[in-house]
């Protein structure tokens, strides 16, 4: 297998993979290895709305829910059709195999049904990706698409990379090739979900797209930078962070009794607040990025932990933003 997506395995990737595995275990335990139908449906609707919003669909979560429930919604016919197509595609996703190109073409045909003439077929023309009037990526020639996609699917079927990393690398390479005339973003995100669901079935209902929607500027920026550097490692790390944060959100929004049980398990097993306080007590001048590196957690996780510690009156920052220091406040109970 000569083809290889352009990335290097990093310590950050491995930390994310380890922590995501732990969070999946907690999420599965809280739901007894299977989400209740209400959560599955709710998460799927969030996924659809967020993925379409990244592609400039303006329908709100409430409107998307109404469309799926068959209610009349005031909106652009094209946007309503996009919702119906996306719901139909995600509902039959379990019938597709992530290593089969013919299933990818079938998925595209369903997602873009009634929206473009060549749904389910590779593009036949050149394609450039623009941000405003600036060309940020010129996709490979249409004549190269069958070979490039065959190489990508062959790599996916045979790689030893962890599914979390492989799915993110696939996502990047798919967007780089840009094999379809339209819908590349939404089909790329759907296919990453499909890859992950074959590793952990519950991930079919994890609304990672909601996190991506809120960080879409970074999402597109990292796609562009990866093209320029011929290295998508940073993009993979971004997607792993999005998965991690989505799992944290899923755990935090459990029904109250389950939420408390899972929260207790997280605190017992991870003990992030204690680790953060220990680091800052030893070295009050550390940055949060340095703390994250020392304890093997993401910067986002450390930032969230520090915010809670400050709210609890257990930690304070003294002095100016540059040149100040952290002060750990002893609990006097």
Establish how many alpha carbons lie within 13 A of residue 42's alpha carbon, considering only the half-sphere containing its beta carbon: 8
Q: What is the mean pLDDT of residues 29-47?
A: 79
Q: Give yes or no: residues 212 and 296 share one domain.
A: no
Q: Give yes or no: residues 55 and 162 share one domain.
A: yes
| Position 261 in a domain | no
| Position 304 in a domain | yes
Alpha-carbon span 96 to 237, nearest angstrom: 26
Q: Give yes or no: residues 140 and 283 share one domain.
A: no
Q: pLDDT tens-digit profile of 307-322?
A: 989 888 889 998 888 7
Last residue of a domain, one of 252, 283, 312: 252
| Position 333 in a domain | no
Residue entry with tokens 């986002």: 300
Q: pLDDT tens-digit profile of 218-274?
A: 988 898 899 889 999 999 999 999 999 999 988 887 665 455 455 545 544 547 888
Q: Give yes or no: residues 281 and 145 share one domain.
A: no
Q: Give yes or no: residues 24 and 122 share one domain.
A: yes
Q: Give yes or no: residues 106 and 247 share one domain.
A: yes
The CATH number of whichever domain residue 24 belongs to comes to 1.10.3290.10
Q: Give yes or no: residues 188 and 279 share one domain.
A: no
| Position 306 in a domain | yes
Question: Mean pLDDT score of the chain, rounded to an integer?
Answer: 87
| Position 283 in a domain | yes
Structure tokens at 113: 């049904």
Last residue of a domain, one of 221, 252, 283: 252
Closest by alpha carbon to 107, among 98, 203, 124?
Answer: 98
| Position 139 in a domain | yes
The DSSP code sequence of 142-165 is: GGGHHHHHHHHHHHHHH--S-HHH
Q: Give yes or no: residues 291 and 148 share one domain.
A: no
Structure tokens at 75: 């909106």
Alpha-carbon span 28 to 34, nearest angstrom: 7
Based on C-alpha coordinates, what's the Rg of the chain?
22
Q: pLDDT tens-digit profile of 43-72?
A: 889 999 999 998 889 999 999 999 988 888
Establish how many alpha carbons lie within 13 A of residue 296's alpha carbon, considering only the half-sphere containing its beta carbon: 9
Please state whether the predicted TM-score (pTM) of the whole model is above 0.85. no
Q: Give yes or no: residues 244 and 319 share one domain.
A: no
Q: pLDDT tens-digit profile of 97-147?
A: 999 999 999 999 999 999 999 999 999 887 777 666 776 677 888 999 999
Q: Give yes or no: residues 139 and 240 share one domain.
A: yes
Q: Give yes or no: residues 119 and 208 share one domain.
A: yes
| Position 300 in a domain | yes
Q: Give yes or no: residues 220 and 277 share one domain.
A: no
**DSSP letter assigned to residue 331:** P
pLDDT surpassing 70 at residue 331: no
309: domain range? 271-328
Which alpha helices (DSSP H) does 73-207 contain, by range? Answer: 77-91, 101-111, 145-158, 163-177, 184-199
Alpha-carbon span 207 to 11, nearest angstrom: 25
| Position 259 in a domain | no
The CATH number of whichever domain residue 293 belongs to comes to 1.10.10.10
Q: Are the CB atoms for 35 and 205 separated by under 8 Å? A: yes
Q: For residue 185, count other CB atoms closer than 10 A to its CB.
A: 23
Last residue of a domain, one of 192, 218, 252: 252
Q: Are the CB atoms for 240 and 62 separated by under 8 Å? A: no
Element spanning 134, H or E: strand 134-138
Instruction: Assign 3-state DSSP to the chain and report helix, strand, coil percentages, each to 5.
Output: 65, 5, 30
What is the total count of domains within the chain? 2
């Amino acid at each position: 297998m000569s083809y290889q997506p352009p990335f290097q395995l990093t310590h950050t990737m491995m930390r994310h993979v380890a922590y995501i595995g732990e969070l999946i275990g907690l999420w599965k335990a809280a739901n007894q290895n299977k989400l209740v139908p209400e959560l599955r449906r709710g998460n799927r609707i969030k996924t659809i709305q967020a993925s379409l919003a990244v592609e400039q669909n303006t329908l709100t979560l409430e409107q998307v829910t109404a469309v799926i429930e068959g209610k009349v919604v005031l909106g652009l016919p094209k946007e309503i059709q996009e919702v119906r197509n996306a719901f139909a595609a995600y509902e039959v996703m379990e019938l597709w195999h992530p290593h089969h190109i013919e299933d990818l073409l079938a998925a595209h045909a369903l997602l873009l049904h009634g929206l473009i003439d060549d749904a389910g077929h590779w593009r036949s023309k050149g394609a450039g990706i623009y941000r405003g009037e600036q060309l940020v990526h010129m996709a490979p020639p249409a004549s190269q698409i069958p070979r490039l996609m065959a190489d990508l699917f062959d790599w996916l079927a045979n790689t030893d990379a962890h599914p979390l990393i492989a799915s993110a690398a696939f996502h990047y390479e798919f967007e780089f090739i840009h094999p379809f005339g339209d819908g590349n973003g939404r089909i790329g995100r759907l296919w990453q979900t499909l890859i992950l669901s074959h590793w952990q079935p519950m991930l079919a209902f994890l609304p990672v797209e909601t996190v991506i929607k809120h960080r879409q500027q970074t999402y597109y920026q990292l796609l562009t930078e990866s093209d320029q550097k011929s290295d998508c490692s940073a993009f993979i790390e971004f997607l792993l962070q999005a998965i991690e944060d989505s799992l944290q959100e899923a755990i935090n929004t459990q029904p109250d009794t389950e939420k408390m049980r899972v929260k207790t398990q997280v605190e017992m097993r991870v003990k992030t607040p204690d680790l953060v306080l220990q680091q800052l007590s030893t070295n009050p001048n550390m940055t949060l990025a340095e703390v994250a590196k020392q304890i093997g957690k993401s910067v986002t996780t450390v930032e969230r932990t520090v915010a809670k510690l400050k709210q609890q009156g257990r930690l304070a920052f003294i002095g100016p933003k540059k040149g100040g220091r952290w002060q750990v406040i002893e609990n006097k109970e």
